[in-house]
Structure 1
Amino acid sequence: MTPPPLVAVFRSGLLAGSETFVRTQGDTLPTWRSVFVGFERIESPLARDTDVILYRSAGGRARVRAAKLFARSGTLRRYLTSARPDVLHAHFGFDGAVVRSAARRANIPLIVTLHGADATADAQAGGWRGPLYRRRLRRLFADAAVVIAVSQAIAERALSLGAPAEKTVVHYIGIPSESVGAAPEVSIRSGVLFVGRLTEKKGLDDLIAAYAGLPPELRERQPLTVIGDGPKDLDYRALAQQATVDVNFLGAQPPSEVIAAMRACAVFCAPSKTAANGDTEGLPIVVLEAAREGAPIVATRHSGIPEAVVDGQTGVLVDEGDVEALRRALESMLTDRARAETMARAGRAWVISEFNTAKQSEKLERLYVRARERRA
């Protein structure tokens, strides 16, 4: 009996706790098998003993740096030649650029998914890094069988960087929706919730400023909670103190706690914006997850967010960086509970229908077949 086809899912480090989507995609394929391959292990709840780690021995860290610097890995090429996966799927452009040579020499069709910074800030980096990365992207695009963008906005960036239109497709990262229970009604929810890495592009500074502008009695009833950590953690805590508002900074939390917070909040806010270095989102998975859990959404018209949130129907969108518009949207959603309930129900139905893993995984497998046929 012929075994199901095999995709090798590559991420140089397996696997950061914030990259659940990499694992979910590989785990939910309906007919293909998946194996996760990386250069080094990252200790996190997502790490698995079954991951194929190519550089485990002494000196492995130096070999990882060399592979990334020179964009080639003989160890990966030998693994691909031996394992013979039907497709190699690399997440993020910089990892795709690193594995391109190995895939080509092993004659394994390569797919790369672009997520955000890898098509924006990294390509605009100053000094020698930006030009070198753009050259590597052009070679990657030339060799790849398929270039996946997680949103239309990222697809447009990919095209501007030289990705061939006939190879470039938009494919959304799905979220599990098959066994979700009923969502709590908005009337019993409370508080404003932010979930994400504490970096500039996430826009938490705008949210804190907007929240500070809400009436004091509304803030007292609707506290602001922040889940996540990152390089700007101390800056945002100081900003909240300067604005004299109480913000519950919870740090990073396990997925179960994040989902519980999404199911309890009166508004989920995603105030993303373009960072000074050009870094942008792709399509934040937390927006889809919050909508699935029945949370009313307030977000910005940033990158792929408008592809997931239909303004005025499944949530409220404002221009990125517009603190006053964000304040008005928050106040409206927190005080007009009937409107919030209507949008939350519509948003939940939309996300479960269009962004569920079953639908998106079937689409991804069709892209794998397309890549495999290119080799044939």
Structure 2
Amino acid sequence: MTGKAAPLVVVVKGWPRLSETFIAQELVALEQAGHDLALWSLRFPTDTRRHPLHDRLKAPVRYLPEYLHQEPARVWRGWRAARRLPGFGAAYRIWRADYRRGRSRNRARRFGQACVLATELPAATPALYAHFLHTPSSVARYAAVMRGLPWAFSAHAKDIWTTPDWELREKLSAEPAGASFGATCTAFGAAHLRDLAEDPARVSLIYHGLDLSRFPAPPDRPARLPGAPLHLLSVGRLVEKKGFDRLIAALSLLPRELDWRWTHIGGGELKAALAEAARAAGIAARIDWRGACDQPQVIAAMRAADLFVLPSRIAADGDRDGLPNVLMEAASQKLPILSTPVSAIPEFIETGTHGLLVPDRPEDLAAAIADLAADPPRMARMADAAYYRLVHEFDMDPGIARLSARLHALCGTGR
């Protein structure tokens, strides 16, 4: 095939998002691998900051109506034009079946957004690729059916564990209008999706890895003496699955003689409740809530900290982490890691070797923090091992090469 292919359409939930650097990293790498991309976002940005990585993306970004009532004329035009598309009837039947099994405003909005997307795409669009298997994949799927185009998805964490199995099965099936392939970033998630797929080969395990060229070499960390102040750092949204409520309870159990401070980076809906819990526990003065930060600020905080703590757990609705990129980012700076054996975290951290994984109970977290604080050489050995594993087993390039090949095949531009 000769000539430049039309852009591959990438459907994302929101752009840009500070908490989704793994998506930005992937898309920038795909452009560097020769892909021409066009982003379509279901939501407008809410973060007031941007990572430098976001500014490296060359693809144009367009926003669909976030709520249908906000752009009624555009939605009306899209619906009228979509009805003339050859695949509209099939897409409408798929949506109606979905809506009957899961009635919500969100499901109604998905079809309206899909009508706008399908009718505003360039005529030569080769395919659609959605990040997240829930709402973005639904919009991409309906639009692809309307236009008679192939589509694929990348699944991560919440979208796997909070989407009904019937919906996952249909998006993974060949008919009606399932994805040509799906990529997911953990073996834990891949195993679940393959169990639901008619053909397990439709699901590829592709770790995000880390683009180490974006990070400085790890600092020369001075030997920390037992009894010296301990600076703890966590990076993650203040939501249930991150387990920060358990960590605050754990911090309140630390020995009186341990001199510690905890810095938290990230926004989230539980900020007020967690800050109040810290006040009630009498430890608020030891905590620095930094809020959302850009990548350079995060890395600077990692270089200044002594121990990275991510107490991930399974939320009441089944939501959980996959393999959080912040663990690899901490490893890139040889920052020792304490986390939990939830989901795919053990795929990167073998407890006792690359870091320490303990149950998310406050007493277990507190005991682990105290033990590590008393044994700086052990922390340093594990940090060295995690850095070595990151460099040799979790580099970004192999995964991007595999994903690039699948996307070229999806678009009919095989290389």
2:190 matches 1:155: yes
1:101 aligns with 2:108: no
Q: Distance in 2 between matches of 1:164 and 1:181?
A: 42
In the alignment, the residues of structure 2 paired with residue 224 and residue 192 of structure 1 have an alpha-carbon distance, to the nearest angstrom, of 5
Counterpart mapping for 1:274-285 below 5 A: 274-285=314-325
Structure 1's 157 and 58: CA in aligned 2 closer, same or farther, altered over 3 A? closer
Encode CA deviations 1:296-346: one digit per residue, 9 max, x unaligned.
Answer: 011100011111212111111113x23222222222222211111111111
**TM-superposition CA deviations, 1:248-299 (whole Å, max 9, x none):** 2222222221111111111101110001111111211111111112110111
- Identify if the C-alpha distance between structure 1 residues 180 and 118 changes in structure 2 by more than 3 Å, giving closer, same or farther: closer
Gaps of 5+ in 1: 124-133
Provide the identity percentage: 29
**Aligned pairs (5 A) from 1:73-222:** 73-80=114-121, 82-85=123-126, 87-94=127-134, 95-123=136-164, 134-142=165-173, 143-162=178-197, 164-178=199-213, 180-187=215-222, 190-218=230-258, 220=259, 222=260
What is the DSSP-based 3-state SS (H/G/I as helix, E as strand, rest coil) of the residue aligned with 1:74? helix
Deviations 1:147-173 (A, max 9, x none): 222212222332454464121122112
Give the AA of the match of 1:15. P
Cα distance in 1 for residues equivalent to 2:161 and 2:183: 15
In 2, Cα distance between equivalents of 1:338 and 1:315: 12
2:262 aligned to which of 224, 231, 247: 224
Residue 41 (structure 1) aligned with residue 44 (structure 2): yes
Tell me how many residue pairs correspond in the alignment.
Answer: 361
Tell me: CA distance 1:187–1:216, structure 2 relative to 1, closer, same or farther (3 Å): farther
Alignment of 1:326-365 (within 5 A): 326-365=365-404
Equivalent runs, 1:187-336 vs 2, <5 Å: 187=222, 190-218=230-258, 220=259, 222-245=260-283, 246-319=286-359, 321-336=360-375
Conserved? CA contact 2:118–2:147, under 8 Å = yes
Q: 1:315 to 1:57 in 2, by over 3 A?
A: closer
Cα gap change, 1:264 to 1:83, in 2 (>3 Å): farther
Closer, same or farther: CA 214–350 of 1 in aligned 2, 3 Å: same
**CA–CA separation in structure 2 for the residues paired with 1:334 and 1:187:** 15
Give the aligned CA root-mean-square deviation in angstroms: 2.8
Task: Give the structure 1 partner of residue 79 of structure 2.
Answer: none
SS at structure 2 position matched to 1:11? strand
Instruction: Give 1:93's aligned amino acid.
Output: L
User: Is the Cα contact below 8 Å between 1:80 and 1:103 reproduced in 2?
Assistant: no
Distance 1:162 1:188, change over 3 A: same
Aligned equivalents of 2:378 and 2:25: distance in 1?
33
Distance 2:142 2:183 in 1: 19
> Does residue 61 of structure 2 align to residue 51 of structure 1?
yes
Structure 2: stretches of 5+ with no match in the other structure = 76-104, 225-229
Higher mean C-alpha deviation, range 98-107 or range 178-187:
178-187
| TM-score, length of structure 2 as denominator length | 0.78
Give the aligned partner of residue 99 of structure 2.
none
Residue identity matched to 1:121: T
1:211-240 CA-to-partner distances (Å, cap 9, x unmatched) read 22222232x2x3111111211111111221
Q: Indicate the residue corresponding to 1:23 in structure 2.
A: 24
Shift of 1:144: 0.4
